[in-house]
Amino acid sequence: MFIRALSLRDFRSWEQAEFELSTGRTVFLGANGNGKTNLLEAAGYLSTLGSHRVSADAPLIRMGAERARIGATVVNTGRELRVDLELNQGSANRAQINRSPARRPRDILGILHTVLFAPEDLALVRGDPGERRRFLDELCTARLPRLAAVRADYDRVLKQRSALLKTAGRQARSSGDLSTLDVWDGHLAEHAAVLLAQRLRLVHDLYPHLAQAYRSIAPESRPAAIGYRSSYLPPEFLDPAREPGEGDAADLGAIVLAELGAARPRELERGVCLVGPHRDDLELILGDAPAKGFASHGESWSFALALRLGAFELLRTTGAEPVLLLDDVFAELDRRRRRALAEVAATAEQVLITAAVPEDVPAELDATPIPVEMSGDPAHRVSRIAEFGPAGLSE
């Protein structure tokens, strides 16, 4: 899989641009502030419908513009697909596949697979559980695109159930009727079961790739491992060595529903949902200790890199090879970690790299440079202007 063309209009700092790309290694070269990272962010957004830098879409739209547009021509095993996405201020985003409108933006998921490694990835090790849950869910969705609908349904039910809990305590004291909450418990358990089953399967499948990647990066360090952390699941489900079963979703649904019932008094008292995947975490382990709080700076970088390389190798074995996106990371790594990353990059079908100077990219990658300059002659920073219609995506 590779991106043959990448188009932007009013995305971040880019007013309009289109880059023609090829297989192999390409490096976008330019000083900080010239929009290099924005290019990889755009490609990553088409893959995951999310940014690795911000949680909302508004910062992605160029100041003064009403909408941003990203487009890519993706080649996968000889088949070419065009995907376009429009991000709108104050209204729903829209998408096209081969110039035809998609029902929902999430319908484009699965067309382009990417794995992005960026300086922000240190938060995977040192940040809040939400960073690690997002890592799990994006990788799960890359493997099973229909999971995006499950995630959306779970978030919707969680929001509605949480709002109900804020008022249900007072209503229960006055009427004793909690039948509405019973209905939402069932919906939450149903969606949670599917999401949990996929997360647990992913942890099982990712574990050996993560362990091998960390050994190659830091052979002198303690061994790395991962596990799934949950306060309500039985221990046997949390063992990454456990082989996932076809009946897991049904069992997990029953467990979540029972735990919701047991937690109801505490939930009514506190007004929050205490049971579900939104409370879980991906456990990162070095030796016998959690990586968070115990890993050194170098070990934390190694673990973050191993998670991304493990994800890349896992996707390689289960479908189309993803595009590897490396955002200004070689300058952050020591010689050994640079070499380990370069060895993987050298075997990938397509790698898009950003760097401030050519010396930041290992010479053995033999990357094709594309200068990126936000000032001066536009020909030095774009191959040709993107051809978007003035009204946005066609109806």
Q: What is the pLDDT of residues 161-178, one digit of tens each?
A: 998 988 876 665 455 557
Q: Which CATH architecture has domain 129-319?
A: Up-down Bundle (1.20)
- What confidence category does residue 389 fall into, taking pLDDT thresholds of 50, 70 and 90? very low
pLDDT given for residue 293 in this prediction? 87
SS3 152: helix
CATH topology of domain 1-113+321-395: Rossmann fold (3.40.50)
pLDDT given for residue 388 in this prediction? 33
Q: Which of 124-128, 158-162, 167-171 bottoms out in mean pLDDT, i.e. has the lowest?
A: 167-171
User: Looking at residues 285-290, what average pLDDT do you find?
Assistant: 94
Binding site for ATP: which residues?
A: 30-37
Q: How far is CA 309 from CA 140, 176, 394, in A?
A: 15, 53, 38
DSSP element (H, E) containing 321: none
Q: Rounded to the nearest 5 degrees, what angle is found at the Cα of 69, between the Cα atoms of 144 and 309?
A: 40
Residue 306 has pLDDT above 80, yes or no: yes
pLDDT given for residue 382 in this prediction? 43
pLDDT given for residue 171 in this prediction? 60
**CATH 3.40.50.300 segments of the chain:** 1-113+321-395
pLDDT given for residue 105 in this prediction? 95
Asked if residue 217 lies in contact with residue 336, where contact means CB atoms within 8 angstroms, the answer is yes
pLDDT given for residue 374 in this prediction? 65
Q: Which of 118-122, 127-131, 201-205, 339-343 bottoms out in mean pLDDT, i.e. has the lowest?
A: 339-343
User: Looking at residues 353-362, what average pLDDT do you find?
Assistant: 91
Burial 340-351 (b: 16+ CB within 10 A, else e): bbbebbeebbbb
* DSSP H helices in 86-178: 122-126, 129-143, 147-175
pLDDT given for residue 349 in this prediction? 94
Residue 381 has pLDDT above 50, yes or no: no
Binding site: which residues?
A: 30-37
Rounded Cα distance between 211 and 283, Å, is 13
**CATH 1.20.1050.90 segments of the chain:** 129-319
Residue 91 has pLDDT above 60, yes or no: yes
